[in-house]
Amino acid sequence: MRRPGDERDDAESEPPPLPLSWRQLYALVIGALAVVIAALAWLTERWR
């Protein structure tokens, strides 16, 4: 039974226009955020 929000159909039938899967793209976005926050935390400490 398909539930609201179930994305299997889209994820399988419509890949991203890049050589990455959707999961890899999501990980890229979250990973980039983590790097940016770490860099900004370093900036804050470095120039305090």
Partner 1 sequence: MRALDVAVLVATLAGLVGYGLWRSRATRDMAGYLVAGRQLPWPLIALSVMATQASAVTFLATPGQGYVGGLSFVQFYFGLPIAMVVLCATIVPLFQRMRVSTAYEFLERRFDGRTRTLAAGLFLLQRGLAAGVTLFAPALVLSVILHWDLRATCALLGLLVLGVTTLGGSRAIGHTHALQFTIIMGTMALAFLLALHALPARLGAGDAFALAGHLGKLNAVDTHFDPRGRYNLWAGLVGGLFLQMSYFGTDQSQVGRYLAAKSTAASRMGLLFNGLFKVPMQFFVLLLGVVVFVVYQFAPTPLFFDPSGAEVARAGPHAGRWQALEAEHARLSRERAGLVGDWLASRAAPAAVRHGRAADGLLRLRAADQAVHDSAVAVIRASSPAANTNDTNYIFLHFVLSRLPAGVVGLVLAAIFAAAMNSSSSEIHALTSTTIVDVVRRIPGAPTDDARLLGWSRAASVFWVVFAVAFAQFAGRSGSLVETVNQLGSLFYGTILGIFLCAFFVHRAGGPAVFFAALLAEAAVLACWKLDLVFWLWFNVVGCLLTVGLAALLSQLVPAWRAAPVPERIAD
Question: DSSP labels for 1-34?
Answer: ---TT--HHHHHHS--SSSS-HHHHHHHHHHHHH
The Cα-based distances of 17 to 21, 25, 26, 33 in angstroms read: 9, 11, 14, 22
Provide the minimum distance between the beta carbon of 44 and partner 1 in the complex, in angstroms, as a whole number.
5
In the region spanning residues 2 to 41, those forming contacts with partner 1, defined by CB under 8 A, are 2-7, 9-11, 14-18, 22, 25-26, 28-30, 32-33, 36-37, 40-41
Contacts to partner 1 by CB under 8 A = 1-7, 9-11, 14-18, 22, 25-26, 28-30, 32-33, 36-37, 40-41, 43-44, 46-48
